[in-house]
Amino acid sequence: MTIMDKTADIPAPRAGGSDDSPLLEVRDLHVEFHTRDGVAKAVNGVNYSVDSGETLAVLGESGSGKSVTAQAIMGILDMPPGKIPQGQILYRGQDMLTMSYEERRKIRGQKIAMIFQDALSSLNPVLSVGYQLGEMFRVHQGLSKKQAKAKAIELMERVKIPAAKQRVGDYPHQFSGGMRQRIMIAMALALEPDLIIADEPTTALDVTVQAQVMDLLKELQTEFNMGLILITHDLGVVADVADKIAVMYAGRIVETAPVHELYKRPAHPYTRGLLDSIPRLDQKGQELYAIKGLPPNLLKIPSGCAFNPRCPKAEDICRTEIPALVPVSEQDGSELPGRGSACHFWKETIHG
């Protein structure tokens, strides 16, 4: 069964693009993988949007469909085995899924750029960093070799790589992990995109370097007024960086909220579980909470709410009816803009 989710911050579909369209809007997106063992339903009706200058953090355990959604937006899904049976991906109001290959190619890479977790495998080991950065300008803007090199140095300076002029001819392995991730950011910025999708951009780095890279990304995003979709399973990273959060579970958005409200008052038991499992400095020595059980097998997602077998609050209805993502309000009925929960018992969860 599929149901159209309704959220507070998701406007009605538009036929064509218009100025008031969000920068990027994913609507009721479904992605499945046809495997030997059956159909794995990786994305099951995702809705989210991000505007210029805004950061959306997408959060959820491993396998919840965060990266697959991003790959669908970038048009880099493996198809087959992947398939998009339903949904829209609107860039400034225009559905990229129905665009011609040529139209789509112009958006991908130029208007929307992606940063991956593993810089080493995304960069070509046998070409210098300067060559790879410069290539963007030679191919897309027809610049000469010399002009492209100057641009590459400029970009390396932008992302604060020390001694950029001297290092422009160095190869990827000659840079530290943090510096390589800065090169990936430079690469993404090269064509001045409107939107950056960063998929676990700092996960492979140690904590201090993580913070530096994150700060840089945030700084550049503000300067260029870009939209940012930040995919992470680390709730600690997002608090300082994101404006709003979408929490994913088994291929669906189960909660959306402005970042600080989510931390203060989660409206879904899954979000509450994620928050309770963050180590806290003021509770040293106490056993860390963990959500019981494991995320579901996507070949066989539980009926009703996919989280029900792990949920401390589950009742009969949770085992039979998929909860829609509905607007969340204050106890007196007043609106909580941007908030939504896909829990039958959201009221008890947030107000209880």
Ligand X SMILES: Nc1ncnc2c1ncn2[C@@H]1O[C@H](COP(=O)(O)OP(=O)(O)OP(=O)(O)O)[C@@H](O)[C@H]1O
> Which residues are at the interface with ligand X (CB under 6 A)?
33, 35, 40, 42, 60, 62-68, 78, 81-82, 233, 298
Q: How many whole angstroms separate alpha carbon 164 and alpha carbon 157?
A: 6
By CB under 5 A, is residue 69 in contact with Mg ion?
no
Q: Which residues contact 250 (CB under 8 A, 6 or more apart)?
A: 44, 64, 65, 295, 296, 298, 301, 306, 307
Q: What is the CA radius of gyration of the chain?
A: 21
Nearer to ligand X, 42 or 259 (CB): 42
> Tokens for 207?
């904590």
Nearer to ligand X, 155 or 298 (CB): 298
Q: Which does 62 bind (CB under 5 to 8 A by kind): ligand X, Mg ion, none?
A: ligand X
Shortest Å distance, C-beta 181 to ligand X: 17
For residue 58, give the H/E element and its range.
Answer: strand 55-59
Query: Of 198, 176, 199, 177, which is closest to residue 189 (Cα–Cα)?
Result: 198
By CB under 5 A, is residue 67 in contact with Mg ion?
yes
> Tokens for 61?
């355990």
Measured from the Cβ of residue 14, the count of other Cβ atoms closer than 10 Å reads 14
Task: Count the site residues for Mg ion by CB under 5 A.
Answer: 1
Q: Which does 63 bind (CB under 5 to 8 A by kind): ligand X, Mg ion, none?
A: ligand X
> Tokens for 32?
């499945």
Shortest Å distance, C-beta 62 to Mg ion: 7
Which residues in the 258-317 window bind Mg ion by CB under 5 A?
none
Nearer to Mg ion, 67 or 202 (CB): 67
Nearer to Mg ion, 185 or 231 (CB): 231
Q: Which does 298 bind (CB under 5 to 8 A by kind): Mg ion, ligand X, none?
A: ligand X
Shortest Å distance, C-beta 201 to Mg ion: 11
Nearer to ligand X, 62 or 286 (CB): 62
Q: How many whole angstroms separate alpha carbon 328 and alpha carbon 187?
A: 39
N residues, the chain: 352
Shortest Å distance, C-beta 50 to Mg ion: 18
Q: Which does 152 bind (CB under 5 to 8 A by kind): ligand X, Mg ion, none?
A: none
By CB under 5 A, is residue 71 in contact with Mg ion?
no
CA dihedral of residues 20, 24, 28, 33 (deg, nearest 10): 160
Shortest Å distance, C-beta 81 to ligand X: 5
Distances in whole angstroms, Cα of residue 306 to Cα of each of 117, 254, 310, 343: 28, 10, 9, 10
Q: Which does 68 bind (CB under 5 to 8 A by kind): ligand X, Mg ion, none?
A: ligand X
The residue behind tokens 């690469």 is 187
Shortest Å distance, C-beta 35 to ligand X: 6
Q: Is 201 exposed, middle or buried (0-12, 13-18, 19+ CB in 10 A)?
A: buried
Nearer to ligand X, 62 or 331 (CB): 62
Residues making contact with Mg ion (CB under 5 A): 67
